[in-house]
Amino acid sequence: MMLHIPAVLTKPQVQEFRHRLAQAEWVDGRATAGAQSMQVKRNRQLPELSPLAQELGAFITQALANHPLFFAAVLPLRILPPYFNSYAGGEHYGMHIDGAIRMRPGTANAMRADVSSTLFLSEPEEYDGGELIVSDAYGTHEVKLAAGDLIVYPASSVHRVAPVTRGERVAAFLWSQSMVRDDAKRGMLFELDQNIQKLRAAHGDDEIAVDLTGHYHNLLRMWAEV
């Protein structure tokens, strides 16, 4: 399941992020790539343990924790602190699949990466290229969102970032371990949740809404790992 989540950050928050990131020292993005990804990754990143990365990452994590659509779609059990990257001058990231197990920076704590997320920090008109291109059973999807918007997609997807031929593409990216590891089951729960919300908005907590809510929680009880 791919989902566009708008306005995770406000425009003033994005501007503050960009101002601070413009003064940061970036390093070769291959520092955090696996053996296969290293061959196709050409970008820059903030050092993962830099104070700025940790501060801005904590802000994003809190914003996501408070976002009901993100919670409904991802059902996060753990969220890895966000990373920050930049692409310019033809930089790109070739076809790859995100690693299944991620280590929390600076610790020996591991988590399973079920869901990938990219938070765009550059407006689409600021750069050419730079689309996130995700391939799955339903085809190929190109994503280029407004600054402050987030895309979530299965970490098991094959994806790439197209070369940036003008301007600069700045983004944050992160992984979540979901309480429900199977993407199809997460998608079913999300659709059921969203339809329950529509039903409640139209008719209140009538007998049908209560019954469907019970089915939602019983499926979650059956599938969740906590």
DSSP per-residue letters across the chain = --EEE--SS-HHHHHHHHHHHTTSPPEEGGGG--TTGGGTEE-EE--TT-HHHHHHHHHHHHHHHT-HHHHHHH-EEEEPPPEEEEEETT-EEEEE---SEEEPTTSS-EEE--EEEEEE-S-GGGEEE--EEEEETTEEEEE-PPTT-EEEEETTSEEEE--EEEEEEEEEEEEEEESS--HHHHHHHHHHHHHHHHHHHHH-S-HHHHHHHHHHHHHHHHH---
- 96 labelled binding-site residue: yes
- 169 labelled binding-site residue: yes
- 217 labelled binding-site residue: no
- 159 labelled binding-site residue: yes
Residue numbering of the annotated binding site for Fe cation: 96, 98, 159
Residue numbering of the annotated binding site for 2-oxoglutarate: 169
Residue numbering of the annotated binding site: 96, 98, 159, 169
